[in-house]
Amino acid sequence: MQGNIISSSLARRLGYADFQPLTENEQQGGTVATGEIHKVSGAIRIAWFHNTSTKVFSDMRFLVSETAQVDLVIGTRSIVKENLLSPPNLGMGGGNTFVDIDTDSGEFHSWHMHTRHR
C-alpha cells in the first residue's frame, strides 16, 4: 500500500499519544518510493498548509511509522488528488521532481532537476 506516512517521533512531537486503528489493508504497512515497506502502528489525521498558500489540507490521514527515516511522506494519491505538484515537462529531456518539507518551519519546497545526456 502506498500512502501518506508520518514518523512516530513527529506524530508525538505534534501531541499525538494515541493512534487510530488501521484498516486490514493498512496493517500490511506503507510502501515508499524505494519499495521499502514501513511497519506502521496506527494512523492519525492532521491538517497542514504551505506557508505561501491559503489552501489548508484538512483531515489528511497518515500512517504512523516507527521505521521511517524521514518525518513526513506525502503519497502519490494525495499529491494527485490535491494537485500539489505540476506535472513535469517530459519534453525537456527528463529529470526528477523533488519535494522538501521542513517540519520545523513548515516550509514546502519543490524543484525540478534537469539533466542532459550527450
Query: Residue ranges of the domains in the chain?
Result: 5-113
**pLDDT computed for residue 109 by the predictor:** 53
- Written as tens digits, the pLDDT of the chain (118 aa) is 567 889 999 999 999 999 999 999 888 887 766 777 778 899 999 988 877 778 888 889 999 998 878 888 888 888 888 888 766 655 544 455 555 555 555 555 554 444 444 4
Residue 43, pLDDT score: 95
Output the pLDDT for position 98. Answer: 54
Q: What is the pLDDT of residue 107?
A: 57
Is 60 within 8 Å of 92 (Cβ atoms)?
A: no
Report yes or no: 6 and 71 within 8 Å, Cβ to Cβ: yes
As a whole number of angstroms, the distance between CA 40 and CA 66 comes to 7
Per-residue confidence (pLDDT) for residue 25, from 0 to 100: 87
Nearest CA among 110, 114, 83 for reference residue 98: 110
Q: What is the dihedral of CA 97, 49, 64, 13, to 10 degrees?
A: 120
